[in-house]
């Protein structure tokens, strides 16, 4: 096979590998994104629980402040009772103290209830945090595989491009120009070798007359997909060595 034809077929093969690997490389970002989905889901749950926890802390702080205010009222009422001048003022101060104590009791009950909610929430947070760490470990391991795949694909693509560069100067410029047009149309492989009347690119049958012309000229185009076709004579099957047959033993005659 002429050097130029052999070179374009090598380039076509490399472009086929390039196309396959580039498609796989294009899926890597989506693979990375999908790997983060389980972790992201747990992260959202974790953030919601933390937000709820902060909300409970806020409610507890509000009520603790209210208890402090009511205790201050009791203190002032106690001081006022030391200087009351009549029964009416005494009863009024006592009433203020009773109201404050009832308020404190009610608020402290609310605090206890909130503390119970906080404890349950803390347990749930610890469980979800364990789940988050577990999912993150899984993601990290899977990311290693994806990154290794990405590295391999990039190395293969780089090697294919280098292999193409090594033989591109051997290709007839006219042939290469036609080849590039096909590649730009995503016809890959754009050049194939054929040994029978079928295109090895689209698998369609080639008319007998055209196939004879391709055999005669060593090249042509597929009438169906437009690929560059190069005739390659089919390899002759290797002759199998004949097995030596052992001579049959003749029966000895009895005397």
Instruction: Encode pLDDT of 149-198 as tens digits.
Output: 999 999 999 999 999 999 999 999 999 999 999 999 999 999 999 999 99
In angstroms, the CA 161 to CA 99 distance is 87
User: What is the tens place of the pLDDT at every residue in 132-155?
Assistant: 999 999 999 999 999 999 999 999
Domain boundary among 123, 143, 168: 168
> Can you read off the two tokens belonging to residue 235?
């390899």
Q: Which helix (H) or strand (E) holds 234?
A: none
* Same-domain pairing of 55 and 119: yes
Q: Angle CA(170)–CA(176)–CA(180) in degrees, nearest 5? A: 140
* Same-domain pairing of 130 and 224: no
In angstroms, the CA 28 to CA 21 distance is 11
Q: What's the structural domain count of the chain? A: 2
- Per-residue pLDDT at 251 exceeds 80: no
Domain boundary among 131, 150, 168: 168
Instruction: Say what the pLDDT of residue 247 is.
Output: 59
* Same-domain pairing of 31 and 150: yes
Instruction: Say what the pLDDT of residue 26 is.
Output: 97
**pTM strictly above 0.75:** no
In angstroms, the CA 196 to CA 193 distance is 9
- Band of pLDDT at residue 253, cut at 50, 70 and 90: very low
* Same-domain pairing of 178 and 222: yes
Q: Is the Cβ–Cβ distance between 16 and 191 less than 8 Å? A: no
- Band of pLDDT at residue 89, cut at 50, 70 and 90: confident
Burial class (CB in 10 A: 0-12, 13-18, 19+), 171: buried
Kindly provide the residue ranges of all beta strands, DSSP E only, lying in 93-239, ordered along the sequence: 191-194, 219-221, 228-231
* Same-domain pairing of 139 and 201: no
Examine residue 236 and state whether it is found in any structural domain, yes or no.
Answer: no
User: What is the tens place of the pLDDT at every residue in 206-224?
Assistant: 999 999 999 999 999 999 9
Instruction: Say what the pLDDT of residue 222 is.
Output: 96
In angstroms, the CA 138 to CA 84 distance is 73
**From 75-79, 236-240, 245-249, the region with the lowest mean pLDDT:** 245-249
CB atoms within 10 A of CB 66: 17
CATH of the domain at 26: 1.10.287.1490
* Same-domain pairing of 26 and 145: yes
Instruction: Say what the pLDDT of residue 58 is.
Output: 97
Does residue 252 come out as left (phi exceeding 0), alpha (psi in the -120 to 50 range) or beta?
Answer: beta
User: What is the tens place of the pLDDT at every residue in 91-125?
Assistant: 988 999 999 999 999 999 999 999 999 999 999 99
Q: Say how far residue 178 (Cα) sits from the centre of its chain.
A: 37
Region 53-75 average pLDDT: 95
Helix 3-26 to helix 28-81 angle (10° resolution) is 20
User: What is the tens place of the pLDDT at every residue in 33-50?
Assistant: 999 999 999 999 999 999
Examine residue 253 and state whether it is found in any structural domain, yes or no.
Answer: no
Instruction: Say what the pLDDT of residue 1 is.
Output: 54
- The range of the structural domain enclosing residue 184 comes to 173-231
> Can you read off the two tokens belonging to residue 61?
């702080």
Instruction: Say what the pLDDT of residue 41 is.
Output: 96
Examine residue 241 and state whether it is found in any structural domain, yes or no.
Answer: no
């Amino acid at each position: 096979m002429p050097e130029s034809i052999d070179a374009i077929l090598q380039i076509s093969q490399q472009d086929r590998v390039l196309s396959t690997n580039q498609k796989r490389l294009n899926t890597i970002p989506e693979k990375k994104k999908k790997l983060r989905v389980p972790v992201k889901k747990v992260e959202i749950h974790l953030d919601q629980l933390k937000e709820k926890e902060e909300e409970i802390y806020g409610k507890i702080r509000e009520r603790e402040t209210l208890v402090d205010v009511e205790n201050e009222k009791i203190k002032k009422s106690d001081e006022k009772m030391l200087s009351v001048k009549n029964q009416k003022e005494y009863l009024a101060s006592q009433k203020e103290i009773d109201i404050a104590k009832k308020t404190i009791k009610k608020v402290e009950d609310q605090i206890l209830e909130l503390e119970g909610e906080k404890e349950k929430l803390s347990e749930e947070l610890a469980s979800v945090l364990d789940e988050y760490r577990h999912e993150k470990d899984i993601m990290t391991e899977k990311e290693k595989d994806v990154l290794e795949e990405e590295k391999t694909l990039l190395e293969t693509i780089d090697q294919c491009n280098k292999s193409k560069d090594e033989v591109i100067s051997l290709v007839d410029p006219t042939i290469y120009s036609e080849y590039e047009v096909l590649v730009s149309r995503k016809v890959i492989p754009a050049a194939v070798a054929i040994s029978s009347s079928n295109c090895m690119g689209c698998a369609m049958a080639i008319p007998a007359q055209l196939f004879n012309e391709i055999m005669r000229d060593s090249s042509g185009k597929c009438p169906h997909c437009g690929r560059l076709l190069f005739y390659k004579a089919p390899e002759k099957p290797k002759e199998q060595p004949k097995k030596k047959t052992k001579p049959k033993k003749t029966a000895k005659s009895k005397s």
